[in-house]
Amino acid sequence: MSSLPCGTRNYSYAEDMAIVRTKTQWALIAAFLVLLFAGPLFLGNFWLNKINLIGITLIAATGLNILVGYCGQLSIGQVGFIAVGAYSSAILTGKLGLPFPVSFICSGLMAGIIGLVFAIPSVRVKGFYLAITSIAAQFIIVWIIQKWTGLTGGTNGLTVPDASIGSLVFNSQKSFFYLIIGVAVICVFLAKNLARTRVGRAFIAIRDNDLAAEVMGVNLFYYKMLAFFIGCFMAGIAGSLLAHWSVSISPDNFSFSESILYVGMIIIGGLGTTLGPILGVVLIRLLQVGVTQSTPWLQSALPGMPNGFATGITPILFGLIMVLFLIFEPRGLAHRWNLFKFSYRLWPFSY
């Protein structure tokens, strides 16, 4: 079932493969981008801050989606690779004094290379074994960061110098907004494009049945390594942005429950789609904002609540949402959105 508006037909390969097909879609995307980049004009610092966090999370989640959603390699250690990217960027700009664009790319490469190291098991095992290996990877990475005090400052953390490209210094939420959203848009576009190239089709083949893919001639080792590299590269650049945006980082920032949250985000949003990570990230981060903001109000308004209410409500809520989505809508919000689009396009004949 092709998802085209009623009445449009494809008469050439180019039309069939196009990401943006109709003039209406072009107009909508242009309008959305204009609105997005005009955000700082009417949003206050509070919301810009939140959107910056959403942007950083989105880059990492898109990487994770390519790895898990498109290629089917379970990885629950994304936050470990984000940590690698963050610390690489902090050390390269802080201790070695390299300019930001160089450290930005290098932290992505660093995370990608370390991702390759932990990707080697994926050639031998899959499923649960790979998931456990990725959990082990995260803990090992965080432990090394904690112990290598000479390089990383250990548990004291590092202060990260300002990011600057040429004479442009990024030290306000507004400037970071443009940088982060710019990178996020590029990453989402790259991910969308990846799906329709040869590499993307190889990934999907591996996900659906890797033995059959190998029989067909897809080089499993090469493509699995590539998937890990791309996923971890994006985590690395997200980490680099995170380091410069937070100004100070320490190993405690990169916890295992964040990794679980990332997996939850892409599942809730929809695996294997480009829209999925966007929806999942936005939903979860907004929920976090809501819970944090409402805690003072709830605490004072409902004194009869048990002491543990405020502590427990976040994990209870998120865990419940994750489980409910997995039971009732395992294909995530993106699937619901697609169904909505179909029904809207085929109205009044929607089935």
Partner 1 sequence: MTELMQYIITGLAVGMVYALIALGFALIWKSTGVANLALGQLVLLCSWFTYGMMQQLHLPIWLAFPAVIVFAVGLGWVIERFALRPLIGQPILSLIAVTLGIGYFMSGLVSFVWPQSIGALPQIFPKNPLHIGGAVISQEYVWAAGISLLVFLLLSLFYKYHRMGIAMRATADDQMAVQACGIPVTKIFSMSWMFACVVAAVGGILISSIGGISNGLLETGLKTFSVVILGGLDSFGGAMIAGPIIGVAKSLGTGYLTPYLWSEFGEVIHYIIIVIVVLVKPFGLFGEKRIERI
Partner 2 sequence: MKSKYAVFILVLSLISILALLIGCSSTPVTTGKELKLGAIMPVTGPAAEKGKPGIDALLDVTEYINKELKGAGGYQIKLDWKDSQYNAANVNTIVTDFTNSGVLMFTAMSSFEMTNAMGIANKAGLPGLAIFTSPNLYNPPAHIYGQMPDYGDDWVAFSNYYMQNIWKKSGKPKMALALLNNTTGSSVKDVANARAAAMGIEIVDIVDHSATTIAETDALTRIKAKNPDVIFISSTPQPTSVILKNAKDLGLTPSTVTIGLAHASFTKSLIDLAGKDVVEGVYGVYPTVTWDDTAPGIVKAKEYLMKNHSGDVDNMDYLSVWCTGLVSAEILKNAVNAVGYDVLAKGDANAWKAVEQSGFQKLNYNVAGIQGAVSYTAGDNRLAKSVKMYSIKSGKITSIGDWVTAR
Residues 6+ apart with CB under 8 A from 323: none
**300 lies in the binding site for partner 1 (CB under 8 A):** no
**314 lies in the binding site for partner 1 (CB under 8 A):** yes
Report the C-alpha gap between 219 and 131 in whole angstroms: 22
Contact letters for partner 1, residues 268-287 (x by CB under 8 A): ---x----------------
Q: Each residue of 231-253: b (16+ CB within 10 Å) or e?
A: bbbbbbbbbbbbbbbbeebbbeb
Question: What are the backbone dihedrals phi and psi of residue 168, each rounded to the nearest 5 degrees, phi first?
Answer: -90, 115
Size of the site for partner 1 (CB under 8 A): 53
8 A C-beta contact, residue 11 and residue 350: no
We find the least distance from the C-beta atom of residue 310 to partner 1, in angstroms, to be 9
Q: How many CB atoms lie within 10 A of CB 255?
A: 14
Among 109, 204, 310, 342, binds partner 2 (CB under 8 A): 310
* Dihedral angle of Cα 39, 45, 46, 52, to the nearest 10 degrees: 60
**253 lies in the binding site for partner 2 (CB under 8 A):** yes
The interface partner of residue 155, options being partner 2, partner 1, none and the CB cut-off 5 to 8 Å by kind, is: partner 2
**350 lies in the binding site for partner 2 (CB under 8 A):** no
We find the least distance from the C-beta atom of residue 284 to partner 1, in angstroms, to be 12
Which CB, 9 or 124, lies closer to partner 1?
Answer: 124
Question: For residues 209-248, which are near partner 2 according to CB under 8 A?
Answer: 245-248
Amino acid at 8: T
Report the C-alpha gap between 342 and 351 in whole angstroms: 9
Contact letters for partner 1, residues 231-250 (x by CB under 8 A): --------------------
We find the least distance from the C-beta atom of residue 72 to partner 1, in angstroms, to be 8
**68 lies in the binding site for partner 1 (CB under 8 A):** yes
Report the C-alpha gap between 240 and 219 in whole angstroms: 31
DSSP string, 130-145: HHHHHHHHHHHHHHHH
Amino acid at 253: N
Report the C-alpha gap between 238 and 81 in whole angstroms: 9
We find the least distance from the C-beta atom of residue 268 to partner 2, in angstroms, to be 10
DSSP state of 165: E
Among 120, 293, 316, 346, binds partner 2 (CB under 8 A): 293
**44 lies in the binding site for partner 1 (CB under 8 A):** no
**66 lies in the binding site for partner 1 (CB under 8 A):** no
Residues 6+ apart with CB under 8 A from 160: 89, 90, 93, 94, 243, 244, 246, 247, 248, 249
The interface partner of residue 248, options being partner 1, partner 2, none and the CB cut-off 5 to 8 Å by kind, is: partner 2
**305 lies in the binding site for partner 2 (CB under 8 A):** no
Report the C-alpha gap between 202 and 214 in whole angstroms: 10
Question: In whole angstroms, how large is the CA radius of gyration of the chain?
Answer: 21
**136 lies in the binding site for partner 1 (CB under 8 A):** yes
The interface partner of residue 80, options being partner 1, partner 2, none and the CB cut-off 5 to 8 Å by kind, is: none
Contact letters for partner 2, residues 110-149 (x by CB under 8 A): ------------------------------------x--x
The interface partner of residue 132, options being partner 1, partner 2, none and the CB cut-off 5 to 8 Å by kind, is: partner 1
Question: For residues 99-118, which are near partner 1 according to CB under 8 A?
Answer: 118
Helices (H), ranges, 148-219: 149-152, 173-195, 198-208, 210-216
Residues forming contacts to partner 1 in the complex (CB under 8 A) are 68, 72, 74, 76, 118, 120-121, 124-125, 127-129, 131-133, 135-137, 139-140, 143, 147-148, 209, 211-212, 215, 256-257, 260, 263-264, 267, 271, 306-309, 311-320, 322-323, 326-327, 330
